[in-house]
Amino acid sequence: MIKPQLTHVGIYVNDLANMKRFYTEVFGLTVTDQGGPPDFHLDMVFMSADPGEHHQFVMVADTEKSAANMAQQISFLVQSLDEMRTMHDRIESEGLAIKRMVTHGNAWSFYFNDPEDNYIEVYAHTPWHIPQPVGVPFDLSQSDQEIMAQTEALCRDTQGFTSREERIAAMREMIGS
C-alpha cells in the first residue's frame, strides 16, 4: 500500500512581508523560493528548515481567502525544553501572548496565535507515551529535572503508559512499516 508522507503545509496570509519576517526571524525558517507563478496572480513564499525538503511551509498572499483561518493548528517541533524556553521568549518578545502551556505526557507544548491569528503549537517530545488527548498545565520556568519528574509521574499514573520507544515500535506495527 502506498503511504504518502505529510511534508508541508500552506496557509493564506494578508501581510506576506510581515509573516515572512515573523517565520524567518522568530522560527528561523529559510526562504527557499518566492514570487508568483506565471499561471496565477498570487505571491508565494516557500520556507524550510530541512535541507532535504524544498519547502515545509508555504504562505500565499490572498486577502480574500485568509480572512477565514481554516487550520486547527500548525505545529513546530523543537528538540528540548531549553529550545522551548528560547522559542517562548521569542514569541513573547514579539508581543504575542502564550495561550496555553501543557504536557500531553508524550510532549510538552505551548500554544499562541501568530500575527495573523493562526493557532501555533511549539512542542518537544518526552521519553514517554500515554493515550491521548491529555493536557495538564506545566511551568516552563521550572528546571528540566522538575518538569521531567512531574511529567513522568503523570505518565506512570495513567493507564496505557509506555516508553516512547515502545510506542514507536507499536506504531510501526500498526502502520505496517
- Cα-based angle 84, 97, 146 (whole degrees, multiple of 5): 35
Q: Which of 15-24, 39-48, 151-160 has the lowest mean pLDDT?
A: 39-48
How large is the average pLDDT for residues 18-23? 97
4 against 51, higher pLDDT = 51
Check if the beta carbon of residue 128 is closer than 8 Å to that of residue 161: yes
Residues of the chain with CATH 3.10.180.10: 1-66
Q: Given this model, what pLDDT does residue 173 score?
A: 84
Mean pLDDT of 46-65: 85
Question: Residue range 115-133: average pLDDT?
Answer: 93
Q: What is the pLDDT of residue 78?
A: 93
Calpha distance 94→65 (Å, rounded)? 25
The CATH code belonging to domain 69-177 is: 3.30.720.110
Task: State the pLDDT at residue 38.
Answer: 63
Q: CA 127, CA 100: separation in Å to the nearest integer?
A: 21
**CATH superfamily for domain 1-66:** 2,3-Dihydroxybiphenyl 1,2-Dioxygenase, domain 1 (3.10.180.10)
Task: Please report the pLDDT score of residue 36 as a whole number.
Answer: 75
Q: Is the pLDDT of residue 66 over 60?
A: no
- The per-residue pLDDT of the chain, averaged, comes to 89
**Residue range 22-45, pLDDT digits in tens:** 999 999 999 999 887 666 667 889
Q: How far apart are CA 90 and CA 96, in angstroms?
A: 9
Residues of the chain with CATH 3.30.720.110: 69-177
Q: What is the pLDDT of residue 177?
A: 63
pLDDT exceeds cutoff 70 at 68: no
d(CA 45, CA 10): 10
